[in-house]
């Protein structure tokens, strides 16, 4: 899908969600575009309740597990993060703001909410050996860290109940590496 088709399909989805009065939060690449430029995406990611799926028969479900549903509305791929996962529900309740998007205001994850979701996913992506997505997520995290300087210690503490000690240790190492890259970037930028 080209970007115009993507935004048209996304608008159709949001109109459907509004008409059905479905509670949702925009997350993923399109949400990230509210905070940083240059992020490409070909799908839309939303946090929703499982019960919302019954109100959206137009979405053709292609895959579903305990925490995620993947589906399609026409050509638009939709990834749904289900509120049955306590972290996803926490992001929905505590890390949401309203952002303008294509002539409408949408509930969108905050920078901290997006970081929580990206950090939560990283250990699993490493275990799966999904290098492309690891790189994308780490770049998203680095970009948000550089642009907004969130309290990463606080975010890791918020994630702690949802991850194993080994996953938390891995995230600390990853964040140290990202922080090192950001410091190198700042030193290089300052010297030119």
The predicted pLDDT at position 165 comes to 97
> What does the pLDDT look like over 72-126, one tens digit per residue?
998 899 999 999 999 999 999 999 999 998 788 999 999 999 999 999 999 999 9
Classified by CATH at the fold level, domain 3-109 comes out as Beta Polymerase; domain 2 (3.30.460)
The predicted pLDDT at position 33 comes to 86
91 CA to centre of own chain: 10
Counting as low any pLDDT under 50, the low residues of the chain are none
Q: Which residues fall within 8 angstroms of residue 65, CB to CB, at 6 or more apart?
A: none
The predicted pLDDT at position 11 comes to 82
The ranges of the chain annotated as CATH 3.30.460.40 are 3-109
Hey, what's the torsion of the CAs at 112, 153, 159, 71, to 10 degrees? 30
Sheet with 43-48: strands ordered across: 60-64, 68-73, 76-82, 43-48, 24-27, 104-109, 96-101
CA 135 – CA 13 distance, rounded (Å): 29
Q: What are phi and psi of 67, to 5 degrees?
A: -110, -15
C-beta separation of 121 from 137 below 8 A: yes
Q: Give CA angle at 50 (56, 115), nearest 5°.
A: 105
Strands 76-82 and 60-64 turn out to be: unpaired
The predicted pLDDT at position 140 comes to 95
C-beta separation of 34 from 108 below 8 A: yes
Provide the H-helix boundaries in 33-103: 50-53, 86-94
| Nearest to 9, CA basis, from 80, 81, 74, 65 | 74
């Amino acid at each position: 899908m080209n970007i115009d088709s993507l935004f048209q399909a996304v608008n159709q989805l949001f109109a459907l969600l509004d008409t059905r009065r479905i509670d949702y939060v925009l997350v993923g690449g399109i949400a990230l575009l509210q905070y940083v430029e240059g992020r490409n995406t070909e799908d839309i990611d939303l946090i929703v309740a499982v019960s919302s799926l019954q109100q959206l028969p137009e979405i053709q479900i292609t895959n579903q597990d305990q925490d995620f549903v993947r589906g399609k509305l026409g050509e638009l791929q939709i990834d749904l993060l289900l509120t049955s996962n306590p972290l996803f529900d926490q992001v929905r309740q505590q890390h949401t703001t309203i952002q303008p998007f294509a002539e409408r205001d949408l509930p969108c994850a905050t920078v901290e909410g997006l970081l929580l979701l990206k950090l939560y996913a990283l250990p699993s992506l490493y275990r799966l050996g999904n290098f492309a997505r690891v790189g994308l997520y780490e770049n998203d995290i680095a970009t948000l860290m550089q642009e907004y300087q969130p309290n990463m210690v606080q975010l890791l503490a918020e994630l702690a109940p949802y991850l194993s000690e080994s996953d938390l240790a891995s995230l600390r190492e990853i964040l140290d590496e990202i922080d090192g890259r950001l410091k190198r970037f700042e030193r290089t930028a300052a010297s030119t």
